[in-house]
Amino acid sequence: MSATSNPVDVHVGNRIRLRRTLLGMSQERLGNALGLTFQQVQNYERGRNRVGASRLYDLSCVLDVPVGFFFAGLPAHVDTTDRPVTDTVDGMAEPEAPTLSSALPTVAQDDLALLSRRETIELVRAYYGIEDSGTRRRVLDLVRSMGASS
């Protein structure tokens, strides 16, 4: 694999880490559920290894999210009209896969970093630990009002 990870693989990996962390699951536990080592999970989460379709499906089952969850925040369309062409082994020309480094929204990456913080995860867990929906709503209103005043 090249020294630079594909931005889509990095994004998918970040979403895997986000969901795993929100569930309070260790890399080792996720790996065991998938028949992988924690190092393999770590490589997926860092975007070093590309997640294949069947593995993505397995991840969606174990992490209890739809497959589309892993792609949330990516642009809907990527301009692929001016892609460079490379030769394959048999001499047939084949377009290179597009890179999305400039197309990935910076806001989504900032939000992902914020959502991955331990403090945020603890807050979300505590919030959903409140069983009464009316109380949860009041807590949300309180936090919003506190954030608006600062």
| CATH code for the part of the protein at 1-75+96-105 | 1.10.260.40
Pairwise CA distance, residues 101 & 133, whole Å: 40
pTM value surpassing 0.75: no
Q: Give the model's pLDDT for residue 39.
A: 95
Predicted confidence (pLDDT) per residue in 56-69, tens digit: 999 999 999 999 99
pLDDT tens digits, residue range 25-54?
999 999 999 999 999 999 999 999 999 999
Tell me if 63 sits within 8 A of 77, measured CB to CB. no
Q: How far apart are CA 18 and CA 23, in angstroms?
A: 9
